[in-house]
Structure 1
Amino acid sequence: MPGFLLHLGATVLCSHAGQATPVAPNPRVLVSGQPTVPMTSLYAVAGCTLPPPTAANGPCVTAQYITGATRITSNGLPLLLIDSQAICTPSGTPLLATVTQTRVTGV
Structure 2
Amino acid sequence: MGDLLNASSTLMCPHGGMVTVSPANSKVTVGGGPVVLDSDTFTIGGCAFMLGPNPHPCLQVQWMSTVLQSSCDGSKPLSMDSVGMCKAGDGAVQGTVMIQATQAQVSGL
TM score, norm. by length of structure 2: 0.87
1:99: which partner in 2? Answer: 101
1:66-105 matched pairs, under 5 angstroms:
66-90=64-88, 91-92=92-93, 93-105=95-107
Q: Does 1:37 align with 2:39?
A: no
Q: Deviations over 1:1-31 (max 9, x none)?
A: x000001000000001110011334211101
Letter in 1 for 2:3: F
3-state DSSP of counterpart to 1:88? strand
Paired residues in the alignment total 105
Instruction: Note the C-alpha offset of 1:65.
Output: 0.9
Q: Is the 8 A contact 2:23 2:34 kept in 1?
A: no
Instruction: Note the C-alpha offset of 1:56.
Output: 6.5
Relative to 1, partners in 2 of residues 1:94 and 1:86: Cα closer, same or farther, differing over 3 Å?
Answer: same
Gaps of 5+ in 2: none
Q: Deviations over 1:88-107 (max 9, x none)?
A: 11251111111000110100
Letter in 1 for 2:98: L
Measured on the aligned residues, the alpha-carbon RMSD in Å equals: 1.6
Runs of 4+ more than 4 Å apart: none
